[in-house]
Structure 1
Amino acid sequence: MKKTLTVLAVIIVVGLIAVGTWRWVNDEGVIPGQEPGEPGGPAATGPVQPDWCPDVEVIAAPGTWESSPTDDPANPSFNPNSFLLTVTRPLQDRYPADRVKVWTLPYTAQFRNINADHEMTYDESRNEGTSTLENELRITHGDCPLTDFIMTGFSQGAVIVGDVASEIGQGYGAVPAERVRGVALIADGRREPGVGQAAGNPVSGVGAEISLELLNPAVQLVTPGATMRGPRDGGFGVLDDRTFQVCAPNDHICDAPLGVGNAVERAQGLIENNGVHAQYATNPNVFPGSTTTQWLIGWISGLVDRAPAPVQAPESGVVDSVPPVP
């Protein structure tokens, strides 16, 4: 009888050890002496980043009459004089494609007015550009969850990028805010003093959409289908410290006067390609001793150079976790 009890006790002890070992392996995820990811061991956890994904995607949104929905986002040619080409081309030359993907927003960048009644309205053009940009963000993030984004836009493109950044910063945008390394808005028509970070020489006015918000009926006489929406509700949320506003003094798109004035004359100014608005690539009065082009290239390059490169596991296809954007 004693032998039987002894055998039963040994069986019970061995069984308890086996169960404990099984729970240890499954709870802790590792067996002593075995590294994660080794055959027989658990795989590392976290999102998967295919090896073809770029570390950073730079998105550029051109201004009115600088883009087309059929343009090639990787090699845009619709308007060879597009301001942002002075920025994106040097970036493409500087970085390999697996480090930086440069994508230029293709959209119908038009602005129907009394001089161009055949064109798409500003509202329709802006909505199309916004939808196309958000779709690109969602697709890239879905395929490459560890890729970070840097976004910049000029004029109408700045309004589009600013609107998208506002939604992302408030938590209901196309991608998580932690995946956005920075935003630069050049001549933003919804620029509001104190919202975002001012870069370059200071200006005293506001964006045209804020300046003309209360004058929408008069604006429609000159630019039908161009709704002046005022400031962005909620600003840029958590992206406020990563969003930079650049505006040339006396550029009536981003440095317009407040208060009621000659609404028709001010609305007409929206469709005129004045010298200040057209010279960001060379204007020395925005960044003393430099240009907006040079500032953008330096700013974007700094963000890219500080961006971590997701580490690809050699065989498992699983990446290590990447620190959040600072």
Structure 2
Amino acid sequence: MKRRFRKVAFGFGFLALVAIILVIVLIFQFLRPTPPPPGVPPTPSAPPRADSQPADCPDVLVVSIPGTWESKANDDPYRPTANRHSLMLRVTKALQANFPSSRAEVYTVPYVAQFRNPTVLTDKQQDYNVSRAQGKRRAVDKITRTYDHCPLTGYLLMGFSQGAVIAGDIAGDIGNGHGPIPVQDQDLVLGVGLIADGRRQAGQQNDVGPSPDGVGAEVALGSFGGLVPGIEMTGARRGGFGTLTERTYSICAAGDLICDSPRVSDPFSAIGKLANAANNPVHAKYATSRYWAQNGATATQWMFAWAKRLITEAPHPKHD
């Protein structure tokens, strides 16, 4: 009887041990990270951020992108002279006067900044596609070089008109994980400021009021894509600004066809109007309070105050 009891007890003990082992295996399987789907490489773990950076690195890099006819490909990025009436100079010159370059390096992207009107055969300017691509390429190159050399530098992106499209596109790339600043360091982007963004969609960022309900010209004409040679209307930004949405601010005056455009049905007549929209009084008056103002401040005054606050509040990285 005792021998039979011992066998039964041993059997229960063995089963209990097996059960415990199975539970441990199941817990291990449950806690183990899920492998990536076939064909998708695993995301490498981000290296720890550096504690300091080289002495020649600024605390903040301000990347400013001028609008159409406000820059040239060979302009000086630190002392631009291509167009002394450039709207963004009202912001960048004021920032340079308020901060030393060690605190805020102000870089104005030099690019061709043109928009050929295809309805005018004598217009010999560069195509919009060429101009926009060059501006983005040069801005991304500057950001990439700075990021590689200065791991703790913060970034402030801003632009007007064609420059706002470029700055917004770069911000959208970063915020959606495929820009010059990788996902793990997106917090380095302090803010994005856009005036008259041609890919604007109301409510897709912080709209600085008063803000109209229209859309950017590229969104209005997005369904026509590249129907007109040299002028590719890219539509809305896929994914918007992603993780940078809350840090992106947009200014648009009602009636400015670049950022407050109605939906159109005839792309050829609309392109002609949009090519000349940069000369219309609404688009050209953001430095005044005639068509847009907030609490008495013009768009450029608002942008300067916003940028100044972000730079003032930005971290002070340790330098080697």
Residue 245 of structure 1 is matched in structure 2 by 250
Aligned-partner Cα distance in 1 for 2:168–2:83: 22
Residue 241 of structure 2 is matched in structure 1 by 236
User: 1:54·1:147 contact (CA, 8 Å) conserved in 2?
Assistant: yes
- What residue identity is the alignment partner of 1:140? T
Aligned-partner Cα distance in 2 for 1:285–1:305: 29
Q: Using the TM superposition, give the Cα deviation of residue 47 of structure 1 relative to its aligned residue in structure 2, in angstroms.
A: 4.7
Residue 305 of structure 2 is matched in structure 1 by 298
User: 1:201·1:285 contact (CA, 8 Å) conserved in 2?
Assistant: no
Residue 154 of structure 1 is matched in structure 2 by 160
Gaps of 5+ in 2: 1-47
Please give the secondary structure, in 2, of the residue aligned with 1:101. Answer: strand
1:82 aligns with 2:63: no
The structure 2 residue matched to 1:174, chosen from 154, 172, 180, is 180
1:189 aligns with 2:198: yes
Aligned-partner Cα distance in 2 for 1:200–1:302: 19
The structure 1 residue matched to 2:269, chosen from 265, 278, 283, is 265
Residue 307 of structure 1 is matched in structure 2 by 314
User: 2:224·2:267 contact (CA, 8 Å) conserved in 1?
Assistant: yes
Residue 213 of structure 1 is matched in structure 2 by 222
Please give the secondary structure, in 2, of the residue aligned with 1:103. Answer: strand
User: 2:219·2:234 contact (CA, 8 Å) conserved in 1?
Assistant: yes
Aligned-partner Cα distance in 2 for 1:45–1:186: 33
Aligned-partner Cα distance in 1 for 2:49–2:196: 43
The runs of 4+ residues in structure 1 deviating greater than 4 Å are: none
Percent identity (aligned): 45
Gaps of 5+ in 1: 1-43, 318-326
Aligned-partner Cα distance in 1 for 2:317–2:256: 41
> Residues 1-326 of structure 1 correspond to what in structure 2 (within 5 A)?
46-113=50-117, 114-115=119-120, 117-176=123-182, 177-216=186-225, 220=228, 224-258=229-263, 260-272=264-276, 273-288=279-294, 289-312=296-319, 317=320
Aligned-partner Cα distance in 2 for 1:110–1:46: 40
Calculate the aligned-residue CA RMSD, in Å. Answer: 1.7
Aligned-partner Cα distance in 2 for 1:97–1:234: 34
Please give the secondary structure, in 2, of the residue aligned with 1:153. Answer: strand
User: 1:59·1:102 contact (CA, 8 Å) conserved in 2?
Assistant: yes
* CA shift digits 1:133-169 (9 cap, x unpaired): 0000011111111110101010000000110000100
Q: Using the TM superposition, give the Cα deviation of residue 285 of structure 1 relative to its aligned residue in structure 2, in angstroms.
A: 3.5
Q: Using the TM superposition, give the Cα deviation of residue 216 of structure 1 relative to its aligned residue in structure 2, in angstroms.
A: 4.6
User: 2:49·2:151 contact (CA, 8 Å) conserved in 1?
Assistant: no
Go from structure 1 to structure 2 and tell me whether the alpha carbon gap of 1:212 and 1:97 turns closer, same or farther (over 3 Å shift).
same
User: 2:128·2:231 contact (CA, 8 Å) conserved in 1?
Assistant: yes
* CA shift digits 1:29-49 (9 cap, x unpaired): xxxxxxxxxxxxxxx983541
Please give the secondary structure, in 2, of the residue aligned with 1:59. Answer: strand
Aligned-partner Cα distance in 2 for 1:269–1:198: 25
User: 1:284·1:290 contact (CA, 8 Å) conserved in 2?
Assistant: no
